[in-house]
Structure 1
Amino acid sequence: MKLHEIYPFPEERVSRKRIGRGRGTGQGCTAGKGNKGQNARAGVSERPWFEGGQMPLARRLPKRGFKNYKFKIVYQPLNLDRLLAAFEGKTEISLDDIYERGLASAGALVKILSQGEVSAAVTVEAHRFSAKAAEKITAAGGKAVMLGAAEAEPVTE
């Protein structure tokens, strides 16, 4: 068996309609494009949302609210219970350790959240901490080290 012998067989294939190949094709002299106008020309590229010069829908509808997509800062949340379960018995948890264990995507901004209990003194490095998470870590005798603008400064509250 060869590649050209595999189903569908040649007699079952429908050949494409060849438009614009003269008057004998059954499409007439304009090849089904009508007479004149933008759509009759070669290389026509009308955008799908173009409304023929009418005021477009996106401009007709009222704009409301404030959009800040470009400058939005997104943190990957990480709960204390999951963090401490991954590093059981460890006293210092750096951001690189979090990335290596796959708890956050490499290079992502990480925020530690307060779900879970801290039983031992642990030093944790992250970009942000929730107030309760930082409180739990410091109450257990550890340190919450916040990275970013204030590089390696402990959170105190």
Structure 2
Amino acid sequence: MVAIGDSLTEGVGDETNNEGYVGILDETINAEYDLAHLDNFGKRGNRTDQLLNRLDTPDIQSAISKAQIILITIGANDIMKVLRENITNITYEPFAKEKEAYENRLKQIFEKMRADNPRAKIYLIGFYNPFEGYFKDIKELTLIADEWNKTSKAITGQ
């Protein structure tokens, strides 16, 4: 198995220091027997453009080409970038524009993975709303996170 993506895959915030959900999967799957090898290529702050570039590194290409299952967390940092760039004037338009670019990059990520490994099962894990704890009063941000997750789901369906 290969896990790749952002801080959620890296395990940032895991108070047990066990690589977050990847560590939990490893412990669960390999509890009694060594059934699966898990490679964790999570990287804090990764956006889709950065992940797309990382897919060209030899160690990641090699791991993906051998994987039976690929898990991906990506997208929340793409939204956070738009938020940081527009923090003094938050409107819907920059998020809608970036969502189109996100969709294109996400398709490229899947195409690249499929080229490296046509048989692996690929699972894109939806991202949590990165705004909930910080901007509760701005309802549009919840709508934006929901729309981006719907876009992600549509792409995985293709």
TM-score calculated relative to the size of structure 2: 0.28
- Rg larger in structure: 1
Normalising by structure 1, report the TM-score. Answer: 0.28
Higher relative contact order (CA 8 A, sep 6+): 2
